[in-house]
Structure 1
Amino acid sequence: MYLRAFKEQLLSGPVEARPHDGEYISRFERWDALASVRRRPRRDFEGKDPGHFFFPPELYPVVLHPMVASRGEGVVRGLLLQRLYDYLDFTTELENLAVIPVATKISRGRSGLNLPEHMRADAHKIVTDEAWHAQFSDDFARQIATSTGSARLGAENSAGPSFVTRLDELRDQLPHALRGVESLLFGIVSETLISGILSDIPRDDRLPSAVRELVRDHAEDEGRHHVYFRSVLRHLWPALTPSERRDVGPLVPGAIHAFLEPDYDRAAYHLGGIGLSRDEIDQVISESWPAHQVRHDISAAASQLTRYFAEVGALDDVRTRDSFAQAGLVGTVRESEQTGCTPREVTA
């Protein structure tokens, strides 16, 4: 078992047979001086600085719904506290389950890609960064529970963040010979998208200062990770055979949605906790996250990443482009024909 795990690659097949692109510009030369694990202190949550909200309500719109807001500020604050717990838990699980295993494989030369040596060396630093993010998120959640006296609800019965189940579904859609590449794919997706998600929270003065500082520490590291995993994509796509690209490409929108789509089940659990009926929960969720608005928001949040996939030629494949179009991430082929743009130029 352990020998197999040691040898197993994320992308199967002989590495030397994969095309090799030696181009890589590191953003980690000053890692010792910049990484939060090296220079930032442990963030302490203090009850005397609660802030007005624990989490931006605009990012958790169920609390703005009249059926929820009418129950009073205490209920809203309690739900936002649970949303903060979920965010911290999501970060811990994302790092431990999705990013660290991928970065570890890259660092040990078992990604299945023919990567430059200094790119592999930088992956070690990402492992260290992400372990710190997971640790400080878990530690911060424990501090909040002690300070507020309000623990995270439903943790013992939780199936984990929704991306875990969705990744299993993506893996099942791949041919057996390609299973493992979904880990690389989700690493690229999550690490290039998370920096955008984190960008506004540190500037929100309604939040406790310790929350803003914690997210700022995370965001500064993730800016470097974004650049790194964009480079991983530039090495991955040319290394795939045309057949492998046709199998992998249509699954990319599913990976994007797995990361960006709201966790409706967690929201439903918390809404049930304030006494809403099943019908009321369904109404609040559907009206807080209208399908067309979720589709639009995901497209906007993923527009830069979509461009990255276009730049490496992923959208040149018809099935992949159709999958992006059906997910609302790019315009349709007909729209591109009308504008005279190529698939690499058209994004929603």
Structure 2
Amino acid sequence: MFKEQLLRGPAEARPHGGEYTSRFERWDALASVRRRPRREFEVEGPGFFFPPELYPVVLHPIVAARGEAVVAGLLLQRLYDYLDFTTELENLAVIPVATKISRGRSGLVLPERMRADAHKIVTDEAWHAQFSDDFARQVATTTGCPRLGVDLPAGPAFVTRLDELRQRLPHGLRGVESLLFGIVSETLISGILSDIPRDDRLPSAVRELVRDHAEDEGRHHVYFRSVLKNLWPALTPSERRDVGPLVPAAIHAFLEPDYNRASYHLGGIGLSRDEIDQVISESWPAREVRQNISEAASQLTRYFSEVGALDDARTLSSFEEAGLVRIAHESEKTSHAPREVPA
């Protein structure tokens, strides 16, 4: 399986030659794995383990009525879920793609410098996965509150969503969803991480950990935008018609809240099934979730437009149905950060 290409067929037969400007010239001096220390968690004064606005179930009256201790416990579990999401995202989605690129098994003909930089991304992401897992273990030891739900069979929601996306592709194109999701996740995550390091309500070590991650992801964002510039022209017209309409689903797979994980935690505080359903639906109204995702993905939608993806009628229709095109064309000044961090 390691020898299989993400995009099948002879890479040399596909159009290639996309431009690439490296952002990794000073990687040794800038990468968090090279210059940042291990972040050590300590219990500090009053505050939150995670921004409550990014986990709106804790603001719902049914949950708030359970008391501050319950809210604090849910926010602690949300921090664990965020750290688990990061570890799983890097290990399951990003590192395999970057490894394929580095070893010339992406199915694309890429500049040698681009392949060499992919090695550095693998190193970055392995460090992100490691320090997220390590930090979660520290938090559990220091607080005495264990991680709950980390061993749920389905894992973070993006895993199941990505599998479902793969099943929608023609058999001969399966594998390209990994490239697509790598592009989506790596260009969106830098915006997601931007606000947390500035939130003084959070423990300093949490803010520093997220800042370390965000600084690396800024370089990854630029890199995977280049991957998109190489991928789309390399696809045949038929492949573009098959892949393009699924891009909004890949965006939702990454950005949509993890309702199942939130339901699990709400059940853990004693809410009934009806109460859980009410809290979930009223905390994340469908229209608001759709709007938040559209705003968060506006820059990425523009990237797909720039490579010609929206020239296909079915792809354009799919973006319109997801509410992505309107937001992208409305204003480039729209904030790129969603109100909810993927769980």
Normalised TM-score (structure 2): 0.95
Deviations for 1:236-255, whole angstroms, at most 9, x for unmatched residues?
00000000000000000000
Partner of 1:24: 20
Q: Map Cα deviations across residues 51-92 of structure 1 (whole Å, 9 max, x no partner).
A: 500000000000000111111111111000000000000000
The partner residue of 1:86 within 73, 81, 89 is 81
Structure 2 residue corresponding to 1:171, chosen from 143, 160, 166: 166
1:128: how far off?
0.1
- Answer whether contact 1:299 1:328 (CA < 8 A) is retained: yes
Q: How many residue pairs get matched?
A: 332
SS of the equivalent of 2:53 reads helix
Secondary structure of the residue aligned to 2:290 is: helix
Deviation at residue 346 of structure 1 after TM alignment: 6.4
Aligned to 1:114: 109
Residue among 2, 8, 12 paired with 1:6 = 2
Select the structure with the greater relative contact order (CA < 8 A; seq sep ≥ 6).
2
- Name the counterpart of 1:252: 247
- Say which SS state the counterpart of residue 326 (structure 2) adopts: coil
Aligned to 1:228: 223
Contact 1:310–1:345, Cα closer than 8 Å, also in 2: no
User: Larger deviation: 294-303 or 154-163?
Assistant: 154-163
1:51–1:12: structure 2 CA closer, same or farther, 3 Å change rule?
farther
1-side partners of 2:149 and 2:304: how far apart? Answer: 37
Question: 1:45 maps to which residue?
Answer: 41
> 1:330 offset after TM fit, Å?
1.4
Q: Deviations over 1:192-211 (max 9, x none)?
A: 00000000000000000000
SS of 1:217's equivalent in the other structure is: helix
Instruction: State the identity as a percent.
Output: 84
Residue type at the aligned position of 1:39: R
> TM-score of the superposition, structure 1-length normalised?
0.93
- Tell me the distance in 2 between the aligned counterparts of 1:306 and 1:126: 23
Kept after mapping to 2: 8 A contact 1:193/1:302: yes
- Superposed structure 1 runs of 4+ greater than 3 Å apart: 344-348
Find the counterpart in structure 2 of residue 95 from structure 1: 90
8 Å Cα contact 1:45-1:143 kept in structure 2: yes
2 CA distance for matches of 1:226 and 1:6? 25
Distance in structure 2 (CA, Å) of the matches to 1:275 and 1:8: 47
Aligned-pair distance for 1:331? 3.2
- Contact 1:51–1:209, Cα closer than 8 Å, also in 2: no
Given that residues 50 and 207 in structure 1 are in contact (C-alpha distance below 8 angstroms), is that contact kept between their aligned partners in structure 2? Answer: no
Amino acid at match of 2:271: L
1:293 matched to which residue of 2? 288
What secondary structure, in the 3-state scheme, does the structure 2 residue paired with 1:155 have? Answer: coil
Preserved CA contact (<8 Å) 2:84 2:150: no
Partners of 1:186 and 1:320 lie apart in 2 by 16
- Contact 1:51-1:208 at 8 Å conserved across structures: no
